[in-house]
């Protein structure tokens, strides 16, 4: 029986992984050193971490596998946000030489399911990369030109993050267990790209019940030590919109 080769596309996942440190939102990227045949100088290629989805693997598992291989972490906040499938999204790639060196068919169509991950970057010990790969944290305002359509994917992820943080208490995923009010506010200000009033922010957060103060305070800082707080994960799950001042009838308000 004649077998007609399948024209089915490949399916991959790409992970847009956000971290937050030193008052800066950062992106975890893969860096490759690739010899450029023309210039004989090593080009540096950055890309979102990702991989083909395996035959027996569902999409979430594929994304979790990519994340775990890279960071060694499991149980991270990871959510699908959009699927990209332009027929030419791979063929249009600028680093075509590299593509040809890596794949049998550089023109093959690849549809990618993009995920957004939020991690406490302090937890991450970047894993030694397979191949000549290396993972690096890049501040979001310094993201270079990426492979394929990864710049677009990243931009969509950032937009999705900005939107979702206004609806769900996901900011805490980017902070350590114990955090100060200042860190929390700085995180929100960074993502939302605007200043928030310290007293109003504090009032809303505390009134919401979504965080609890600890007795513990900072030590060794050369100013008044800040109190630590923890995120009430259970409370948040039972009161999905708590931080947004949920009213009795379901409406709510966002932060000022």
Interface contacts to a copy of itself, rule CB under 8 A: 3, 5-11, 53, 55-59, 80, 82-87, 109, 111, 113, 163, 167, 192, 194, 247, 249-256
Q: How far is the CB of 184 from DNA (least distance, A)?
A: 10
* Binder of residue 219, out of a copy of itself, DNA, none (CB less than 5 to 8 A by kind): DNA
Q: Does 175 bind DNA (CB under 7 A)?
A: no
Which two structure tokens, joined as six digits, stand for 183? 């860190």
Which two structure tokens, joined as six digits, stand for 84? 């990209």
The candidate with the shortest Cα–Cα distance to 118, out of 154, 187, 171, is: 171
Residues 146/154, Cβ–Cβ less than 8 Å: yes
Q: How far is the CB of 77 from DNA (least distance, A)?
A: 24
Q: Per residue, what are the HEC states of 136-156?
A: EEEEHHHCCCECCCHHHHHHH
Of 29 and 117, nearer to a copy of itself (C-beta) is 117
Distance spanning both ends of the chain, measured CA to CA:
67
Q: Does 212 bind DNA (CB under 7 A)?
A: no
Alpha-carbon span 34 to 181, nearest angstrom: 44
16 three-state secondary structure? strand
Of 28 and 53, nearer to a copy of itself (C-beta) is 53
Q: How far is the CB of 201 from a copy of itself (least distance, A)?
A: 12
CA distances from 20 to 26, 60, 248, 255 (A): 6, 23, 34, 20
Q: Does 200 bind DNA (CB under 7 A)?
A: yes
Q: Does 178 bind DNA (CB under 7 A)?
A: no
Of 101 and 200, nearer to DNA (C-beta) is 200
Alpha helices (H) in 39-149, listed in sequence order: 59-71, 96-102
Residue 169 dihedral angles phi and psi, to the nearest 5°: -80, 65
Chain-centroid distance of CA 191 in Å reads: 12
Of 106 and 182, nearer to DNA (C-beta) is 182
Q: Does 141 bind DNA (CB under 7 A)?
A: no
Residues 110/12, Cβ–Cβ less than 8 Å: yes
Q: Does 80 bind DNA (CB under 7 A)?
A: no
Q: How far is the CB of 171 from a copy of itself (least distance, A)?
A: 16
How large is the C-alpha radius of gyration of the chain?
Answer: 21
Q: Does 6 bind DNA (CB under 7 A)?
A: no
Which residue has 């937050």 as its token pair? 20
Of 65 and 202, nearer to DNA (C-beta) is 202
Q: Does 242 bind DNA (CB under 7 A)?
A: no
Q: How far is the CB of 235 from DNA (least distance, A)?
A: 17
Of 92 and 194, nearer to DNA (C-beta) is 194
Residues that bind DNA (CB under 7 A): 180-182, 197-200, 202-204, 217, 219-227, 245, 247-249, 251, 253, 255-256
């Amino acid at each position: 029986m004649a077998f007609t080769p399948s024209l089915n596309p490949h399916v991959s996942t790409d992970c847009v992984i956000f971290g937050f440190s030193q008052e800066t939102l950062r992106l975890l990227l893969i860096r490759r050193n690739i010899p450029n045949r023309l210039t004989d100088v090593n080009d540096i290629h950055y890309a979102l971490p990702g991989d083909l989805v395996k035959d027996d693997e569902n999409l979430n598992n594929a994304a979790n596998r990519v994340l775990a291989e890279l960071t060694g972490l499991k149980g991270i906040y990871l959510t699908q946000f959009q699927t990209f499938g332009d027929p030419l999204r791979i063929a249009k790639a600028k680093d075509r030489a590299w593509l040809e060196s890596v794949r049998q068919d550089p023109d093959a169509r690849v549809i990618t399911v993009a995920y957004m991950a939020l991690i406490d970057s302090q937890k991450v010990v970047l894993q030694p990369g397979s191949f000549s790969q290396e993972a690096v944290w890049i501040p979001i305002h310094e993201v270079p030109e990426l492979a394929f359509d990864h710049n677009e994917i990243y931009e969509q992820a950032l937009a999705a993050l900005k939107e979702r943080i206004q609806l769900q208490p996901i900011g805490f995923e980017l902070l350590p267990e114990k955090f100060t009010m200042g860190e929390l506010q700085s995180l929100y200000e960074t993502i939302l790209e605007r200043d928030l009033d310290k007293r109003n922010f504090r009032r809303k957060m505390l009134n919401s019940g979504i965080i609890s103060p600890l007795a513990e305070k900072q030590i060794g800082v050369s100013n008044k030590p800040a109190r630590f707080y923890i995120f009430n994960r259970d409370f948040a799950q039972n009161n999905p919109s708590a931080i947004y001042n949920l009213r009795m009838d379901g409406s709510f308000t966002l932060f000022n």
